[in-house]
Structures are given as C-alpha cells and as structure tokens.
Amino acid sequence: MIEVRNLSYRYEGRQGDALRGVDLTIPEGAYFIVVGPNGCGKTTLIRHLNGLLRPVQGEVLVDGMDTRDSDKAGMIRQRVGMVFGNPDDQIFGMTVEEDVAFGPGNLNLPPQEIRRRVDAALDAVGARAYAKAQPHLLSEGEKQLVAIAGVLAMDPKYVVLDEPTAYLDPASRQKVLEVMSSLHRRGITILHVTHHMEDLTRADRVVVMKAGTILADKIPSELLSMPDCLRDAGLGLPRVSELLWKLREYGLDVNPSTLDLEEACREIMASKSESRSRKIGI
C-alpha cells in the first residue's frame, strides 16, 4: 500500500503550506479519485507519491519504502508510475515504440524483454497500430495513450494520473477512461486526479481536498449523500446526483447517491408509480 502520514509541504518562496497534515492510505488494487478546486494541493499530493517532491513534515511510504530515502528512489519510481495532464510533457521519442522503450531501456533489461514490455504496453492501451508513428503527428488522445503505455512498460503496481483527460475531446477522453478501468481490472492501483465529477462512478473511494487538507475520504455513494461537503470544497455534484437531489426536493422518494443513470431512471419511475398509487388510495 501507499501510506501518507501527517504530510505537510511548503514551496520555497511561497507563503503558507501547500499541504497541511495530510493522512491517506491507498491499498493495493484500489481505484482512488482525488477532487478539489484549483490550488487545493491535489498535484502537490500526488507528486509526493513517487518522490518527485519530498515531505517537509511527515512521511510517505510506498510498500514500506520511505520516499525520502534516496537509495529507494529508483525502486519507488518504477513501482509508482506518473502520467501528467499534457502528454507532451513526457513524450520525447522519435517514434512511439522508441518512446515506450525508453524507461525499460534504462533498466538495462535484455532486448527481448524490452520488446515484450513495449508490445504488451501498447496492446494494453490499444496503440499497437501506430507503434512506428512519430508522436508529434498523433492526436492529443493518442499521445496520452502513448504516455500511459510508457508508464506501463515500467511494470508499475500503482499508476497516478494528474487530470489525464484535461486536453482531450469527449471521444478521446472516454477512450482514456476505458483504458484506466481496464488497468484497474488487471489489478493495477489507480489514483486519478480529475475535475470531472462524473468520473466518481469509476472509483472505489473519493478524496475531497480543500486548501491543502483532506475534507473527506469516502466511497462515492456515501460522499454523494452529503452534498454539503462537496459544496464546501467549491465542487458541484455529478449531473445524475444533482437531478436526484432536486427530485427529492419536489417530494420524490429517490436515492441521490445513486450513480448509475439506468438505475436512477428505474428509481424515478418506481417513485412516480408509488406516488401515483398513494394518490388514488391503492
């Protein structure tokens, strides 16, 4: 697991802490989503998880390894892969397969093992068809899949994604989300920072941040049953949940923590039928 204990961090030259006393446990195999307004500390938090930043106070442990231990930095970064919002920030190979091979190539692995990892990573994200392509000729969505493949080629246990769909059109965004869900089904732990509240449906747990602290760490349905917490963080509700809360205000007996659209429709129809039956005395 990844354990964050009483973590605080302050950027040099800035007033105030970017993180203050953060505690978080991420079990192996989980799917976590982190939400919060701009400047709340989401990116600062996740950059501590593979040692890109090191605590001013507290500690971060990855499978028991302290991220402040320089001797463990290489192992930690192989274990915790990081995908940034803009794929151009982490793609620099002349071709797609060269870029994906860069990480395992630096591990001095045998050529046949590098080849195996590159092919497996490209297959995992559905990008084998453009293995020979030059990355700058790809769409933003395709480039983001290549960036994810480059991380997968390092064989990580944990993949951390910082708003990976921020630059994508709806179709490309959906493809990247499907790849993330597929990786989770394979047993990879996912930590996903997002502004899209509809993404909550994919998570095992949701972490809500505000001003460098964690306001809530809940399963999605529990969080959506307490909308004041999200509003306090300056966040809205997913559209399905917002609709169900409004219908409750109008007297329909529906569960606003329902996340699935089809289930929400069934609840609405059942509630309308029950209400109609009461009116006619059945």
The pLDDT tens digits for 16-59 are 889 999 999 999 999 999 999 998 999 999 999 999 999 989 99
Range 228-240 average pLDDT: 81
Dihedral sign from CA coordinates of 169, 171, 175, 181: positive
Range 239-246 average pLDDT: 71
Distance CA 89, CA 147 (A): 9
**Coil/strand/helix, residue 6:** strand
Single-letter amino acid code for the residue at 206: V
Domains identified in the chain and CATH numbers: 2-235 (3.40.50.300), 238-282 (no CATH)
Distance CA 146, CA 264 (A): 36
Q: How many helices (H) and strands (E) does the chain have?
A: 10, 10
Phi, psi angle pair for 54, to nearest 5°: -125, 145
Q: If you write DSSP's letter for every residue of 127-141 in order, what string do you get?
A: -GGGTTS-GGGS-HH
240 or 1, which is more confident? Answer: 1
Query: Above 80 in pLDDT, residue 264?
Result: no
